[in-house]
């Protein structure tokens, strides 16, 4: 971006063609050795600017000084902090000031109403809080006027809070901003919760590890790098072990990767951040996710279907995919410490991932392969999914053989479809439990097979 020269700034300010905004006036005053010869004309321009701007006029009148003598203390935050910062600001402002007016001005300086939102502070708890607007304030102790502004736009990565004051109140404005930041850090209600990439609370299906039918070795490897690590952090430190881990779960869709992630989410007491491909559209999204994880650590970041996020840079060089992958690599093993952070990811197509991501300890230290269930696992799945329904008319061994090559998800769908056919046909016991007949299983199996073969049709 080209920076205007001193001569260009002065020419534009004094051209008289348009009413300059306050930022242009400020830029001119920052010019070294700006001469006093144009002071009268500059005062005239400032007056005209304030008269033409309802916002500047109101600000100047309320603060008792023109725009050039106002002090603005501003702090910018990532979007995920909207909730905690808004609530912190609401609390601190109301403790220190009396609010005389609330308003907002659009970018064309037109007057608009302020905007409040119901901010979630827990899964089923909300608090109505201002997220966009100006508070016109009077200090409860000094009776001096100040203005507080907050703006968290949903379509942008960041939001900000600001305090506007005259020079004699600048210290109070600065300390108020610091109090808001401190309260938000010490009372972060996201810590220890189950949230998405934007900080919204999640209600996860009530899945436990006993509901996940996998080989014991797979469960052991995943539990060792997640639950065991978080529960034994002090022991890890005493043995000079890093309290960070990257685990990549790879395998066909439906083999249990998401299921075990839900079980871990329910079991672990730390913050759990569930990230989907839709949550990551720009490199900044990745950095925000890790920044959030560091603030609320110990934490787990789950990247569901990471194939869409960490694509090979050889195939997508100089694209957004390239930049997103680069940022992911940097955040997983870069300058900033990730102590207390576990990165968990699921992948259906691990070969599509960048090599520096999948073949590099320090990023994904452990790769766990989720294969199709063998005969033993298929029998366990069929028995568990049928539960207490009567399957005496069906040969379990035959069902195990027929489902060879099925994923766990397909086996679950087969049982659901079979039971639904029995219920529809009124084949139930007195207590309502289904009675499974071979014809129901055969019909459900044939329909599912036809569905599976659809991908083979050109």
Calculated CA dihedral for residues 74, 46, 103, 172, nearest 10 degrees: 40
Checking if the pLDDT of 22 tops 60, the result is no
More confident residue, 47 or 458: 47
pLDDT of residue 316: 57
Write the DSSP string, 286-352.
HHHHHHHHHHT-SEEEEETTGGGTSB-TTTSTTSHHHHHHHHHHHHHSSSS--TTEEEEEEES-GGG
CA distance 415 to 441: 8
More confident residue, 22 or 312: 312
CA distance 390 to 428: 9
More confident residue, 49 or 414: 414
Confidence at 347, pLDDT banded by 50, 70, 90:
very high
Edge-first strand order for the sheet with 366-370 is 194-196, 271-275, 299-303, 341-347, 244-251, 366-370
Which tens digits make up the pLDDT trace of 88-98?
A: 999 999 999 99
pLDDT of residue 43: 66
Confidence at 274, pLDDT banded by 50, 70, 90:
very high
DSSP 211: G
pLDDT of residue 454: 77
pLDDT of residue 131: 92
pLDDT of residue 21: 54
Write the DSSP string, 382-442.
HHHHHTTSB-TTS-HHHHHHHTTT--HHHHHHHHHHHHHHHHHTT-B-TTS-BB--HHHHH
Q: What is the rounded average pLDDT of the residues 12-22? A: 55
Global pTM reads 0.83
Write the DSSP string, 136-170.
EEEETTT--EEEEEEEE-TTSSEEEEEEEEEGGGH
pLDDT of residue 132: 93
More confident residue, 142 or 1: 142
Confidence at 194, pLDDT banded by 50, 70, 90:
very high
pLDDT of residue 44: 67
Write the DSSP string, 265-280.
HHH--SEEEEE-GGG-
CA distance 144 to 63: 8
Which tens digits make up the pLDDT trace of 382-393?
A: 999 999 999 999
Checking if the pLDDT of 456 tops 90, the result is no
Checking if the pLDDT of 254 tops 90, the result is yes
Mean pLDDT of the chain: 87
Q: What is the rounded average pLDDT of the residues 264-274? A: 95
Which tens digits make up the pLDDT trace of 286-345?
A: 999 999 999 999 999 999 999 888 766 565 555 566 788 889 999 998 888 999 999 999
Which tens digits make up the pLDDT trace of 159-184?
A: 999 999 998 899 999 999 999 999 99
Structure tokens at 349: 């197509």
Share of the chain above pLDDT 90, in %: 65
CA distance 264 to 257: 11
CA distance 31 to 5: 10
pLDDT of residue 109: 77
Confidence at 1, pLDDT banded by 50, 70, 90:
very low
pLDDT of residue 360: 77
Which tens digits make up the pLDDT trace of 101-132?
A: 999 988 777 888 899 999 999 989 999 999 99
Q: Of 155, 129, 277, 266, whose CA–CA distance to 202 is shortest?
A: 266
């Amino acid at each position: 971006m080209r920076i205007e020269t001193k001569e260009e700034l002065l020419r534009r300010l004094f051209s008289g063609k348009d009413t300059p905004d306050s930022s242009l006036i400020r830029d001119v005053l920052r010019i070294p050795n700006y001469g006093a010869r144009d002071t009268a004309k500059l005062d005239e321009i400032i007056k005209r600017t304030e008269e033409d701007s309802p916002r500047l006029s109101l600000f100047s009148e309320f603060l008792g000084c023109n725009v050039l003598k106002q002090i603005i203390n501003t702090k910018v935050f990532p979007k995920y902090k909207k909730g905690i910062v808004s609530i912190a600001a609401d609390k601190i402002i109301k403790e220190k000031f009396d609010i005389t007016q609330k308003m907002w001005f659009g970018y064309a300086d037109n007057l608009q109403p302020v905007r409040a939102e119901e901010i979630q502070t827990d899964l089923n708890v909300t608090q109505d809080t201002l997220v966009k607007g100006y508070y016109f304030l009077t200090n409860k102790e000094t009776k001096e006027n100040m203005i507080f502004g907050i703006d968290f736009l949903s379509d942008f990565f960041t939001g900000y809070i600001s305090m506007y004051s005259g020079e004699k109140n600048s210290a109070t404005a600065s300390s108020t901003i610091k109090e808001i930041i401190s309260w938000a850090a010490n009372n972060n209600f996201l810590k220890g919760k189950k949230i998405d990439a934007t900080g919204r609370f999640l209600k996860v299906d009530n899945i436990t590890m006993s509901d996940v039918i996998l080989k014991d070795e797979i469960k052991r490897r995943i539990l060792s790098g997640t639950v065991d690590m978080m529960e034994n952090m002090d022991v890890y430190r005493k043995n000079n072990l890093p309290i960070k881990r990257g685990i990549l779960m790879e395998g066909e869709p439906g083999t249990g990767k998401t299921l075990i992630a839900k079980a871990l989410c329910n079991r672990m007491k730390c913050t759990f951040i569930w990230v989907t491909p839709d949550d990551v559209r720009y490199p900044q999204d990745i950095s925000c996710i890790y920044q959030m994880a560091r603030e609320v650590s110990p934490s787990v970041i789950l990247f569901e279907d990471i194939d869409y996020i960490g694509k090979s840079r050889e195939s997508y060089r100089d694209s957004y995919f390239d930049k997103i992958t680069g940022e992911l690599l940097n955040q997983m093993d870069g300058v900033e410490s990730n102590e207390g952070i576990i990165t968990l990811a699921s992948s259906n197509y691990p070969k599509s991932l960048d090599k520096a991501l999948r073949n590099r300890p320090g990023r994904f230290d452990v790769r766990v392969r989720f294969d199709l269930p063998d005969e033993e696992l298929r029998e366990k799945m069929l028995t568990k999914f049928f539960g207490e329904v009567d399957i005496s008319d069906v040969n379990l061994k035959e069902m195990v053989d027929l489902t060879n090559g099925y994923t766990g998800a397909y086996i679950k769908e087969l049982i659901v479809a079979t039971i639904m056919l029995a219920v529809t046909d009124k084949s139930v016991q007195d207590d309502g439990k289904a009675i499974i007949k071979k014809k129901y299983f055969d019909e459900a199996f044939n329909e599912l097979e036809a569905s599976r073969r659809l991908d083979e049709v050109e």
